[in-house]
Amino acid sequence: MQDLTVIPASNTAALPAEPMTLRHWIGGAWRDSADGATSERRSPAHGVPVSIAAKGARAEAEAAIAAARAAFDAGEWSRASGKDRATLLLRVADLIDRDQQAIARQEVLESGKPISQALAESEGAADLWRYAAALARTMHGDSHNSLGPDMLGLVLKEPIGVVSLITPWNFPFLIVSQKLPFALAAGCTAVVKPSELTPGTTVMLGRILEEAGLPGGVCNIVLGYGDPVGETLSTDPRIDMVSFTGSTGVGKRITAAASATLKKVSLELGGKNPQVIFPDADLDQAADAIAFGVYFNAGECCNSGSRIIVHEDVAEALTEKVVALSRRVPFGDPLDARTQVGAIISPEHLAKIDGYVRGAVAAGARVALGGAALDVGGLGAQFYQPTIVTAVRPEMPIATEEVFGPVLSVLTFRDFDEAIALANGATYGLSAGVWSRDVSTCLDFARRVQAGTVWTNTWMDGFAELPFGGFKESGQGRELGRYGLEEFLEVKTVQMRIGRTRGAWVA
């Protein structure tokens, strides 16, 4: 295994004695599927059953939509004060903190990510609920008092209505917390569909919302697959907006499905995110950030720094540094606190990752490290080695398509214009990074690169206050920050004639 750092199975006593039972939450009640269908999720790292979920069909999706529609129209939540909404959101954040260990453990079991990362994500999720609570109390419109002595103009901001929130398997608890608290802060009601691979923590969030006192029907959770649950949530005319995070291919299908009713669609999709390293960069800091960017969450991350574009003068030196660091990154048992990279979500996805690497080698690229599945003692081979592929050409699929695994592609450039052309050469535009001691270089890059987020001399920092989203085929709309609240609001103009009336139009 090329002298890699591997953490074997060491905490099997923490595995559950029996899988968690998960049910739909519709109209404030927990219920099984009408046909009794269920689906089982096995831990990708340990192979044992960890959850058995009700498998929803069109009937459950339609019941949840009806509950959300009725709750919105009744107005208990949609017309509640910002103070009342904020109070409940803050209560939810406190309960997430209370249940942090249990939430993180279930996330590890279903997704295969390391326990240290799952704990950090739970903490970050609570912060998002608190930030959304602050937005609920500061939301406001505008007034126009300059329209003449007998006119007053108002711009009101109102909740868009019933929203469907469709979330992915790679950050199930964090990403639902990038959507749901902002929708609730705006006064919307919601139907949430988590990935069928990682439903557990979303159901745990539903239990927290129930305990916090959220009125029945304001949030509903339907478990199941994209067909038929996700399809129903994208087409039903009672849904006013769809917010989806996942692959670009599925995002395009959701947009097409939603077009029949012209409902609003917000998408956070894939990325092929470049980090451009100039010759004057601090190579040690860059190498550490590159290792973090490509191995965080086993590379199963839309923000993965999966390709570096490095100046040819320092390419060899930087690659050597990244290879050396990669050997030291602990891969293995995600229940072990030492582990930084866990299991791949499924055997099918592992095969897809490996296919990109094999295809690049066949096209003339070279593997400087890794390039195969990783057999972890006591856990099997649903892991993938830290992999670095060099001599990559811009037209290779590994350089332009989202691998979604712990695989780094290395490209080189000669001058600034070439670096920009390579960075903008992919169809994606989610995030990008630049490494240079020259602030002018960093600023020029930030202005010219086509990406929704640009990091300079760092990678993947994140703050609730700053918006997140992509250019091009990385999506549309924004999450987080005040922009994340605005996504769930409609703007209404009110023109009020006061005092004198205008002259008669008909003489």
Residues with Cβ < 8 Å from 293, sequence gap 6 or more?
A: 273, 275, 303, 304, 305, 306, 433, 459, 460
Q: Where are the domains of the chain?
A: 14-269+474-492, 274-456
pLDDT digits 0-9 by tens, 413-432:
999 999 999 999 999 999 99
Residue ranges of E strands in 167-322: 189-193, 219-221, 241-245, 264-268, 274-277, 307-311
Q: Which CATH class is domain 274-456?
A: alpha beta
- What radius of gyration do the chain's Cα atoms show? 24
Res 10: pLDDT: 82
Q: How far apart are CA 54 and CA 438, in angstroms?
A: 55
Confidence of residue 2 (pLDDT cuts 50, 70, 90): low
For the chain, the average pLDDT equals 96
pLDDT digits 0-9 by tens, 358-414:
999 999 999 999 999 999 988 988 999 999 999 999 999 999 999 999 999 999 999
31 pLDDT higher than 80: yes
Q: Report the 10 Å Cβ neighbour count for 308.
A: 28
Same fold, 14-269+474-492 and 274-456: no
pLDDT digits 0-9 by tens, 251-300:
999 999 999 999 999 999 999 999 999 999 999 999 999 999 999 999 99
CB neighbour class for 378 (10 Å; exposed up to 12, middle 13-18, buried from 19): exposed
Of the candidates 129, 131, 136, the residue with the CA atom closest to the CA atom of residue 97: 129
State yes or no: is 301 an active-site residue. Answer: no
**Which residue is catalytic, options 219, 302, 479, 487?**
302
State yes or no: is 268 an active-site residue. Answer: yes
pTM over 0.85: yes
Question: DSSP states of 127-165 as a string?
Answer: HHHHHHHHHHHH---EEE--S-TTEEEEEEEEE--EEEE
**Which residue is catalytic, options 60, 110, 121, 268?**
268
1 pLDDT higher than 60: no
Q: Per CATH, is 14-269+474-492 categorized as 3.40.605.10?
A: yes
Average pLDDT over residues 172-194: 98
138 pLDDT higher than 60: yes
